[in-house]
Amino acid sequence: MGVVSDGKKAVRLLHRALKSRASVQRVRRRLAERGPHPHEHFQIAVYFADGAVNMYQMRQWYRPLARLAERWPVVVLSRSASGAEKLLEEGALPVAFVPTVRNLEKFIAKQDIRIVLYVNQNTRNFQMFRYGRCWHVFINHGESDKMYMTTNQYKAYDYALIAGQAARERLSRTLWDYDLDRRAIEIGRPQADHYSGTLPYTPNERIVVLYAPTWEGDRPSAHYGSIASHGQTLVSALLATGRHRVIYRPHPRSGVVDPGYGDAHRRILAAIAAANAADPSAQHVYDDGPELGWQLAAADVAIVDISAMVYDRLAAGKPLLITRPADERASIDTNGYLSACEWLTVQGAHDIVAEVERVRADEQAVARLRTWVQHYFGDTTPGVATEKFHAAIERLMRTWDEWNARELEALAARGSNSDENAA
């Protein structure tokens, strides 16, 4: 039995290696067609060591970074072939494919990189930290009250761009000896300035409900996913009314750990397809596209799990329900918005139509929501967060110039002293 199992593993590994090799070849061909990047051109790099499965972490930054690149050229340093392939396919930003440290070194040597931005905590980030003459800045891929948001890994970066006061308080409670005043810069949520896009349906009198669950999680403390516990029930109830339009946007990793969770996801897809077949005018949406924004702005009510999607929607300032994890071992931070949010329990999912109506009509809940929006993101007037983001980068560029000037002065002084000693 062990020999058979080992053989199957070997076949899987071989298949994976061949698939990766093919992906590498496609990426290199594509880049060769585009020609070499100009030398000494890029000043900002976004370091992305993940593959295609985590592209959602990059996609939400496409538009803010494209706007930033109008002033300071931006390039994505992609370490994974599948990630580079997706980045090239989606074409939002210039891409440098640097799978090895040697590739990375050669590219950096030809550019004028002053700031390196990081959207996640991939362990391969450490390979980029070796470069001391640029600022390493953690920008994250969302704002939330998950444990991930207070990791001691923040200290590995020179600076962190955070959303607002809630993030500052969260880090202050958790991290020892971390100079928040100097190293954490508040920028709000610049992605919210780009909550737009083409709607895949024709708006009418139907109430639009966004259901955006996260994946099942890989340990009990992170069992935030609701597809199996809440999702089938609430989606079926909303599909049945004839008055609602469901936008279903699950996390791309849904079902990667628990096959049962993946089965529940597929049953929801089947229910949406059946509802659209029965009434094509319903125009329910299964959304697995790369673009995030229009969903958050268009939905009358959003139902999300504990994840960054809570805060993506919170930035829109519109009615929001958060699923209460079915697993009591799931870690919930009760210091922030989750201490006062509108919870949707497993039992409440059976009465989802009434729950949707309640949060839409509750003016006091809407007022409370605005207070939390201010706490997490500051001023959400369109354009303000983008201005803060650009101001933060400008500040870091100015500081880079100051450090560089001091270093050049020190080198000149050492050279002068050497000449005097030789004389």
pLDDT, tens digit only, all 423 positions of the chain: 565 565 556 556 656 665 778 889 999 999 999 999 999 999 999 999 999 989 989 999 999 999 999 999 999 999 999 999 999 999 999 999 999 999 999 999 999 999 999 999 999 999 999 999 999 999 999 887 777 788 899 999 999 999 999 999 999 999 999 999 999 999 999 999 999 888 999 999 999 999 999 999 999 988 999 999 999 999 999 999 999 999 999 998 899 999 999 999 999 999 999 999 999 999 999 999 888 899 999 999 999 999 889 999 999 989 999 999 999 999 887 778 999 999 999 999 999 999 999 999 988 888 888 999 999 999 999 999 999 999 999 999 999 999 999 988 887 887 766 656 655
Distance in angstroms (rounded) separating the CA atoms of residues 44 and 400: 12
pLDDT computed for residue 12 by the predictor: 63
396 in a structural domain: no
8 in a structural domain: no
Average pLDDT, the chain: 92
38 in a structural domain: yes
What is the distance, to the nearest Å, from the Cα of residue 197 to the centroid of all Cα atoms in its chain? 18
Same domain, 233 and 166: no
Same domain, 85 and 225: no
Final residue in a domain of this structure, among 194, 215, 239: 194
Do the Cβ atoms of 157 and 122 come closer than 8 Å? no
Q: Whole-angstrom distance between the N-terminal and C-terminal Cα of the chain? A: 80
pLDDT computed for residue 282 by the predictor: 98
Same domain, 237 and 177: no
Same domain, 217 and 171: no
What is the distance, to the nearest Å, from the Cα of residue 367 to the centroid of all Cα atoms in its chain? 27
**Residue 285: closest CA among 302, 269, 261, 308:** 269
Same domain, 339 and 270: yes
416 half-sphere exposure, CB direction, 13 A CA radius: 6
Distance in angstroms (rounded) separating the CA atoms of residues 400 and 37: 23
Distance in angstroms (rounded) separating the CA atoms of residues 295 and 247: 8
Distance in angstroms (rounded) separating the CA atoms of residues 238 and 272: 10
Same domain, 243 and 336: yes
Distance in angstroms (rounded) separating the CA atoms of residues 233 and 46: 40
For residue 64, the domain's CATH number is 3.40.50.11720
**Residue 133: closest CA among 408, 415, 413, 409:** 408
Distance in angstroms (rounded) separating the CA atoms of residues 196 and 304: 19
Instruction: Name the domain count of the chain.
Output: 2
Distance in angstroms (rounded) separating the CA atoms of residues 208 and 151: 36
- pLDDT tens sequence across 229-249: 999 999 999 999 999 999 999
Same domain, 136 and 189: yes
26 in a structural domain: no
pLDDT computed for residue 414 by the predictor: 78
- pLDDT tens sequence across 253-285: 899 999 999 999 999 999 999 999 999 999 999
**Residue 44: closest CA among 80, 70, 69, 61:** 69
- Domain range for 288 is 207-377
DSSP letter, residue 153: G
Q: Is 231 buried (19+), middle (13-18) or exposed (0-12) by CB count in 10 A? A: buried
Measured CA distances, 236 to 121, 254, 258, 274, 414 (Å): 37, 19, 22, 11, 74
324 half-sphere exposure, CB direction, 13 A CA radius: 13
Q: Is 278 buried (19+), middle (13-18) or exposed (0-12) by CB count in 10 A? A: exposed
**Residue 74: closest CA among 109, 116, 119:** 116
Distance in angstroms (rounded) separating the CA atoms of residues 177 and 78: 32
382 in a structural domain: no
Same domain, 179 and 234: no
Final residue in a domain of this structure, among 194, 217, 236: 194
Task: Give the three-class secondary structure for 338.
Answer: helix
pLDDT computed for residue 6 by the predictor: 59
Q: Which residues lie across from 209 on neighbouring strands?
A: 246, 301
Q: Which two tokens stand for residue 249?
A: 């946007």
Distance in angstroms (rounded) separating the CA atoms of residues 44 and 74: 5
Distance in angstroms (rounded) separating the CA atoms of residues 263 and 212: 17
pLDDT computed for residue 253 by the predictor: 87
pLDDT computed for residue 149 by the predictor: 83
**Beta strand pairing call for 285-286 and 301-304:** unpaired
